[in-house]
Amino acid sequence: MSTVSEALGLKVHFRLSQGGWNRRSGPVIRAVDGIDLTIEAGETVALVGESGCGKSTLGRALLRLEEPSAGVVRFEGHDLTGLSPELLRRQRAGMRMVFQDPYASLNPRMRIGEALAEPLRVHGLATGRAARHAVAEILEVVGLDPAVVARYPHEFSGGQRQRIAIARAVIGRPRFVVADEPLSALDISVQAQILDLFADLKARFALTYLFVSHDLAVVRHVADRVAVMYLGRIVELAEAETLFMRPAHPYTQALLGAVPTPDPARERARVVARLPGELPSPAAPPAGCRFHPRCPLVMPVCRTDDPALLHVDAGQTAACWLHRRAEAAAPSSLERLGLSHAHPHHQS
Ligand SMILES: Nc1ncnc2c1ncn2[C@@H]1O[C@H](COP(=O)(O)OP(=O)(O)OP(=O)(O)O)[C@@H](O)[C@H]1O
Ligand code: SF4
Ligand SMILES: [Mg+2]
């Protein structure tokens, strides 16, 4: 397997201007605050977490649509951080974003045909007849009549518009697609169809996805692996089945404990309601484990020491001191063989 997208020690901080003359005095929002993530070719990695935890910022930073404050972002092994605008544009052809609101991502004054041909032109992939041919072909792939090229975005339903936005994202044959809540603005009845389209395109074009979603049923359906974010960090990263069956981080457990409802806003509120206390500001994350003020299992070490992602199980890591013992668990086989003197009372 080859690595498609990679973040190493990635931070994206925003300095908020106070509005006064001293623009350097505002608080620093630590939207992404130290993330390592490797996405392999052909995978779908889902990104979940409460509103404001940094999911969109991470997705954008992986495509270098946000400037990293620290760390490295690579695409297919190329470091994107130090690239000239020309080289960056060349890499950008291979990675695209699909947004929540298809209407916002389509120019209302541009006919569908022009909107779809634009990325081909920008990346120097095709013009004229070749472009028209590619547009007709991609429209068919996403389930639309090629005759729609002469129409405008407002003439379509939300689901059709999302198909157009997706067609625009994949027409240049990217290898990596970041989909940021691509179903959230759609009617429930349409969501399953768009989800099928993502699956179809993945198989057809050998795509790799980062799929941002707060809908855990969707995540369970699409994801090979799931990354759970909290306050700018990944707190758990695991294979989807493992994460849903045996969530290791107390925050993941709280998220999964939330009963899903069809209304995303209510669902979010419910997740938060299950956890004591407020979500702290990303401008001032708590010391030690960032989750400690809300964690039902908090221990003294959690208030002072910041846990890194620790090995929990095959294909599962969690940033939580509860799993420190799992890290040190290897010698326990010696104990079981009676070779350890550490816990004499455990020997029979
Ligand atoms: N351009 C920006 N300038 C300042 N702050 C920003 C900017 N973009 C994001 N933020 C802040 O960074 C934090 C993370 O935002 P982000 O949009 O990445 O979260 P999210 O997890 O995608 O949330 P949601 O689920 O609501 O989409 C938030 O506190 C947000 O207000
Ligand atoms: S490290 Fe401590 S506070 Fe943080 S999630 Fe684990 S038990 Fe809770
Ligand atoms: Mg977002």
Question: Over its length of 348 residues, how does the chain's per-residue pLDDT go in tens digits?
Answer: 699 999 999 999 999 876 655 556 689 999 999 999 999 999 999 999 999 999 999 999 999 999 999 999 999 999 999 888 888 888 888 999 999 987 788 999 999 999 999 999 999 999 999 999 999 999 999 999 999 999 999 999 999 999 999 999 999 999 999 999 999 999 999 999 999 999 999 999 999 999 999 899 999 999 999 999 999 999 999 999 999 999 999 999 999 885 444 555 554 544 445 677 788 999 999 999 999 999 999 999 999 999 999 999 999 999 999 999 644 544 444 444 444 444 434 433
CATH code: domain of residue 198? 3.40.50.300
* Contact predicate 264/181, CB 8 Å: no
Domain assignment present for residue 164? The answer is no
Q: How many domains does the chain have?
A: 1
Q: Is the CB of 99 under 6 A from ligand 2?
A: no
Domain assignment present for residue 182? The answer is yes
Q: Whose CA is nearest to atom 5 of ligand 2?
A: 320
Residue 47, φ and ψ in degrees, nearest 5: -120, 120
Tokens at residue 204, please? 């057809």
The CA distance from 67 to 142, in Å, is 32
Domain assignment present for residue 208? The answer is yes
* Alpha carbon separation from 65 to 13, 62, 184, 192, 211 (Å, rounded): 14, 8, 22, 29, 16
Distance 298 CA to ligand 2 centre (A): 5
Which of 251, 322, 325 has most ligand 2 atoms within 8 Å of CB, for mutation? 322
The CA distance from 334 to 318, in Å, is 25
Domain assignment present for residue 261? The answer is yes
The CA distance from 165 to 111, in Å, is 13
DSSP labels, 277-291: SPPPPTTSPPSSSTT
Domain assignment present for residue 166? The answer is no
Which of 251, 298, 304 has most ligand 2 atoms within 8 Å of CB, for mutation? 298
Domain assignment present for residue 100? The answer is no
Q: Domain of residue 52: give its range.
A: 3-94+173-327
Judge if pTM exceeds 0.75.
yes
Distance 37 CA to ligand 1 centre (A): 19
Domain assignment present for residue 121? The answer is no
Q: Whose CA is nearest to atom 1 of ligand 2?
A: 320
Distance 51 CA to ligand 3 centre (A): 7
Domain assignment present for residue 291? The answer is yes
